[in-house]
A and B are shown apart, each in its own frame.
Chain A
Amino acid sequence: MASEDINRVVGEIGLRHGRERWRLMDIVRDVQERLGAVGPEAVDAIAGWLGIARVEVEGVVGFYSFLSSGQRGRVVIRLCDDVIDRMAGYDAVRAAFEGALGVKVGETTPDGEFTLERTACIGMCDQAPAALVNDVVVTNLSSDKARVIVRMLRDQKDPSKLVHRFGDGNNSHPLVRSMVENNLRKAGPIVFSGQTRGEAIRKALAISPAEVIRAIKTSRLRGRGGAGFPTGMKWEFARAAAGDRKFVICNADEGEPGTFKDRVLLTELPDRVFAGLTIAAYAVGAAEGIVYLRAEYAYLRRFLEQVLEKRRADGLLGRSVCGKPGFDFDIRIQMGAGAYICGEETALINSCEGLRGEPRNRPPFPAQRGYLGCPTVVNNVETLACVTRILEAGPATFCERGTHQSSGTKLLSISGDCTLPGVYEVDMGITLREVLELCGGEDAAAVQVGGPSREMVGPAEFHRTIDYDDLATGGAVLVFGPDRNIVEIVSAFMEFFVHESCGFCTPCRVGTVLLKEKLDRVIAGRGEPKDLEDMLELAETIKQTSRCGLGQASPNPVLMTLRSFRPVYDALVKPDPHGYRRGFDLQASLREAERVAGRGSQQHQEGVP
């Protein structure tokens, strides 16, 4: 496309979003969608429009998986390659797509029509293998389906035509029109207690903000996003923080592999979530709210926009919410662009400001200085739905469920080797064994609770409970049957962290790569007993010295399985009977030497004169 055209397109998109720097994410996303790339000309045009350095724009484009400086096809097919999808047949599906398209993963067809990519968990593990075709979600894939999809895309050119049936509930809503299934297997009395008609907000507005915070504290609600911080206390900090302008943010980034409960909640009960965010705003004194929606859930966006529109019409958002003088509040949706790290609240805030999604240092905490430097509360989707129920039914009703330290219910996203994968609302404190009975996963040989960041548990520990004292989880429960290869799973988890590290700090950026290399050497049968000790040491260093939760959790797959599944590793690293160093791979070493030798001359060509 000619430069003038690129300038014109960027100009149009820029006009729509304005000139404030924090609109950068929206602008680059739209440019990517219109032009198939944010190339050098577009970067210059965007930088000029916002009055920032082009390297800042380039930095953002280069950070997020869904943005690219190189031209992508008109249709981008993103295959979800998480562990569950691999178990469900990812390799065959990938091969079928590659065959039908005539390109490999990571490539674009010569006619510029299709790009085939892999992507981290897209939140569809209960209907794996799954993929995104532009914004359209396709699920339960097989090789045959893959070929049909390619044929249909070639004939009809329009990914939305792939939708030949609708999923249940609001998945058939005219603004959603998706094949995604909710698979809501168990609705409980708190989160999935039905629609809300504004009772919760009216009850909140009838009392003072301090009393709202007291009610939340009485409920002992703790964050459902994983960290488990007491919600009432977080709100109190933000309320007490100095500043006229405050923000509340709903974290709908849901990126932990194996987690998809927020997707179902947003599909079926968005009003409960928005009500919770409105109550949070009232409690802390915020006038502006943001929902940070992961790019993978873009298919829900227009629907959610309409729900917000309806709430404005009903007086539940806007000036004087519910007629309460002085309480003005509105919500906007901020789309992500493919980065797991943006679920971390300070990275999320940076992303909302149009920056690379790198976490910030703490202190200051978001409640002191967050979005645009203002006191900011970030809460998970489910946490906010709990808030609505607490105001509606009272803290006591909430506390009737769960345990003292972990009150209420918890949504679980269950997938893998079980007969009934899907979303379950269970009481906090439930044992893993009970969970496995519910979902038909009694044969499990291992369960990953909380996704790759957390813990792998074997049968001897199925008596353990899901709550903040024992197995704390954002909700992911990945069930692995007896035939699964534990170390392969661990390696796939490590691959996820390598891919999703933001790269800001040394231990996570480099350490995860080194740890995965060592692990893969052990898996390949080239490890020695000492390698396991080295892995433990390296894992500990990464865990301790990483700058944020991602890096700190990244060695957990290795650490947890070395603890609970040690015999699997020991069997792989039997000392060599001939006393040879097993770690030494002659072929690979020669390859490496060749590569190094070849590099000197290559550098001259690559280097800019």
Chain B
Amino acid sequence: MSDRFTITVDGREIPAAPGQTILAAAQASGIYIPRLCHMDGIEPVGACRVCTVRANGRVVAACTQPATASMVVQSQTDELVSWRRQLVEMLFVEGNHFCMFCEKSGSCELQGLAYRLGIAAPRYESIWPRREVDASHPDIILDRNRCILCGRCERTSRDLDGKHVFGFVGRGIHKRLAVNARARLADTGADVTDLAIGACPVGAILRKNRAYRTPVGDRPFDREPIGAPVETRAELTINGGPAS
């Protein structure tokens, strides 16, 4: 523990350890840095860029950038919040998102982040891509219209489920989620109990026959904004002494 050090995030001094990312260090101290392509427990890759911060003045992705001693991090500046807003708006117009008809509404991280960032409607014109729906699997539905290409399913399947059910084809704006079969999810080894199935931040991978089991109004982001658990849990930690 002797090599632990501190960094400051938006003026608050917090502990960090060598190799720890800015995002992880902040989170351990109850500071929520928005993120979409990263989730706890898998390797961060820096794809969505929503976690963008300034570290010692340089623009970096907080989910991949290691903290270093005395690093000065800014996260909630006007500039950074504006960039995040634009990135989230880009993700909306890139896909086909109709929140009012989506059963993920209320537990969708993209939507949750849009609310947190105060986005009423994206300012860009929609791209309206053509994307495929795959309902072949008895227990799982795959709706690529809502996919934000975050790669959480791919990494979770590969690294936690040990399966490699998901991958990507295409390049640039034509990049698409693919499954490890000639065409259908049903022909992969995907199982509804796979961790990958729960890894999707949006309504692109859904378990069948669960729709509306939790009533609207009772869903996670109906009750508190996205990120709140990080902030409140850490409140406890601070009250009980600094995180070790």
Instruction: Kindly state the interface size class of chain B when it binds its partner.
Output: 35 or more
Minimum Cβ distance to chain A for residue B156 (Å): 14
Q: Does B59 contact A (CB under 8 A)?
A: yes
- Residue with the greatest number of chain A CB neighbours at <10 A, chosen from B167, B171, B173: B171
Structural contact, B127 and A58, CB atoms closer than 8 A: no
Given that A54-B181, A503-B173, A510-B91 are known contacts, is A607 also in contact with B168, CB under 8 Å in the complex? Answer: no
Q: Does B184 contact A (CB under 8 A)?
A: yes
Q: Does B130 contact A (CB under 8 A)?
A: yes
Q: Does B133 contact A (CB under 8 A)?
A: yes
Q: Does B175 contact A (CB under 8 A)?
A: yes
Residues in B with CB closer than 8 Å to A545 are 49, 52, 59, 83, 87
Structural contact, B168 and A608, CB atoms closer than 8 A: no
Q: Does A501 contact B (CB under 8 A)?
A: yes
Cα A62 to Cα B175 in complex, Å, equals 9
Cα A112 to Cα B133 in complex, Å, equals 31
Cα A54 to Cα B163 in complex, Å, equals 12
Which of A54, A509, A546, A607 is within 8 Å of B173, CB to CB?
A509
Residues in A with CB closer than 8 Å to B107 are none
Structural contact, B90 and A55, CB atoms closer than 8 A: no
Q: Does B136 contact A (CB under 8 A)?
A: yes
Q: Does B64 contact A (CB under 8 A)?
A: yes
Q: Does A361 contact B (CB under 8 A)?
A: yes
Structural contact, A503 and B90, CB atoms closer than 8 A: no
Residues in A with CB closer than 8 Å to B120 are none
Cα A501 to Cα B174 in complex, Å, equals 10
Residues in A with CB closer than 8 Å to B90 are 506-507, 510-511, 514
Cα A231 to Cα B138 in complex, Å, equals 57
Which of A501, A502, A541 is within 8 Å of B86, CB to CB?
A541
Structural contact, A59 and B83, CB atoms closer than 8 A: no
Which stretch of A135-143, A273-281, A430-438, A592-600 is in the interface?
A592-600
Which of A55, A514, A517 is within 8 Å of B180, CB to CB?
A55
Given that A506-B90, A506-B91 are known contacts, is A63 also in contact with B48, CB under 8 Å in the complex? Answer: no
Q: Does B45 contact A (CB under 8 A)?
A: yes
Near B by CB (< 8 A), chain A positions 499-520 give 499-507, 509-511, 513-514, 517
Near B by CB (< 8 A), chain A positions 47-88 give 53-56, 58-59, 61-63
Near A by CB (< 8 A), chain B positions 48-67 give 48-50, 52, 59, 61, 64, 66
Minimum Cβ distance to chain A for residue B1 (Å): 23
Q: Does B179 contact A (CB under 8 A)?
A: yes
Structural contact, A503 and B128, CB atoms closer than 8 A: no
Structural contact, A40 and B182, CB atoms closer than 8 A: yes
Residues in B with CB closer than 8 Å to A602 are 130
Given that A505-B49, A507-B90 are known contacts, is A53 also in contact with B167, CB under 8 Å in the complex? Answer: yes
Structural contact, B167 and A504, CB atoms closer than 8 A: no
Which of B59, B86, B179 is within 8 Å of A538, CB to CB?
B86
Which of A53, A56, A513, A546 is within 8 Å of B49, CB to CB?
A546
Given that A498-B172, A608-B136 are known contacts, is A55 also in contact with B164, CB under 8 Å in the complex? Answer: yes
Cα A438 to Cα B104 in complex, Å, equals 63
Q: A362's closest neighbor in chain B, by CB?
A: B64
Q: Does A603 contact B (CB under 8 A)?
A: yes
Structural contact, A505 and B66, CB atoms closer than 8 A: no
Q: B169's closest neighbor in chain A, by CB?
A: A62
Cα A393 to Cα B140 in complex, Å, equals 68
Given that A505-B48, A509-B172 are known contacts, is A607 also in contact with B125, CB under 8 Å in the complex? Answer: no
Structural contact, A510 and B94, CB atoms closer than 8 A: yes
Q: A606's closest neighbor in chain B, by CB?
A: B132
Minimum Cβ distance to chain B for residue A131 (Å): 22
Q: Does B102 contact A (CB under 8 A)?
A: no
Structural contact, A510 and B128, CB atoms closer than 8 A: no
Residues in A with CB closer than 8 Å to B66 are 363
Given that A58-B167, A514-B93 are known contacts, is A500 also in contact with B133, CB under 8 Å in the complex? Answer: no
Q: Does A547 contact B (CB under 8 A)?
A: yes
Given that A55-B180, A56-B164, A541-B87 are known contacts, is A361 also in contact with B174, CB under 8 Å in the complex? Answer: no
Q: Does B166 contact A (CB under 8 A)?
A: yes
Structural contact, A510 and B52, CB atoms closer than 8 A: no
Instruction: Kindly state the interface size class of chain A when it binds its partner.
Output: 35 or more
Q: Does B170 contact A (CB under 8 A)?
A: yes
Structural contact, B167 and A506, CB atoms closer than 8 A: no
Near B by CB (< 8 A), chain A positions 1-60 give 40, 44, 53-56, 58-59
Cα A79 to Cα B59 in complex, Å, equals 38
Q: Does A579 contact B (CB under 8 A)?
A: no
Q: Does B134 contact A (CB under 8 A)?
A: yes
Minimum Cβ distance to chain A for residue B237 (Å): 28
Residues in A with CB closer than 8 Å to B61 are 361, 547
Near B by CB (< 8 A), chain A positions 474-516 give 498-507, 509-511, 513-514
Residues in B with CB closer than 8 Å to A56 are 164, 167
Residues in B with CB closer than 8 Å to A110 are none
Cα A500 to Cα B49 in complex, Å, equals 19
Which of B46, B94, B125, B148 is within 8 Å of A517, CB to CB?
B125
Cα A537 to Cα B124 in complex, Å, equals 12
Near A by CB (< 8 A), chain B positions 172-192 give 172-175, 178-185
Structural contact, A503 and B164, CB atoms closer than 8 A: no
Structural contact, A501 and B47, CB atoms closer than 8 A: no
Minimum Cβ distance to chain B for residue A596 (Å): 6
Minimum Cβ distance to chain B for residue A101 (Å): 25
Residues in A with CB closer than 8 Å to B47 are 504-506, 547
Q: Does B236 contact A (CB under 8 A)?
A: no
Residues in B with CB closer than 8 Å to A541 are 82-83, 86-87
Q: Does A234 contact B (CB under 8 A)?
A: no
Structural contact, B91 and A55, CB atoms closer than 8 A: no
Q: A361's closest neighbor in chain B, by CB?
A: B64
Which of B46, B133, B170 is within 8 Å of A608, CB to CB?
B133
Residues in B with CB closer than 8 Å to A607 are 132-135
Q: Does B149 contact A (CB under 8 A)?
A: yes
Cα A606 to Cα B59 in complex, Å, equals 41
Convert A534-565 into 0s and 1s, putting 1 for each residue whose CB lies closer than 8 angstroms to a CB of B. 00011001001111000000000000000000
Residues in A with CB closer than 8 Å to B125 are 514, 517
Give 13 new A-B contacts, CB below 8 A, not counting A505-B46, A507-B49, A545-B49: A56-B167, A59-B168, A62-B171, A62-B178, A501-B171, A502-B172, A503-B149, A503-B168, A503-B172, A503-B174, A504-B175, A514-B93, A547-B47
Residues of B within 8 A of A (CB): 45-50, 52, 59, 61, 64, 66, 82-83, 86-87, 90-91, 93-94, 124-125, 127-128, 130, 132-136, 148-149, 164, 166-175, 178-185
Residues of A within 8 A of B (CB): 40, 44, 53-56, 58-59, 61-63, 339, 356, 361, 363, 498-507, 509-511, 513-514, 517, 537-538, 541, 544-547, 592, 595-596, 599, 602-603, 606-609
Interchain Cβ contacts under 8 Å between A and B, 27 examples: A53-B180, A55-B164, A55-B169, A55-B179, A55-B180, A58-B178, A59-B169, A63-B169, A63-B171, A361-B45, A361-B46, A498-B173, A501-B172, A503-B171, A504-B45, A505-B47, A506-B49, A506-B50, A506-B90, A509-B172, A510-B90, A511-B86, A537-B86, A545-B59, A545-B87, A599-B130, A608-B184
Q: Which 6 A-B pairs have the closest CB atoms?
A: A55-B167, A62-B169, A503-B175, A607-B133, A53-B164, A510-B90
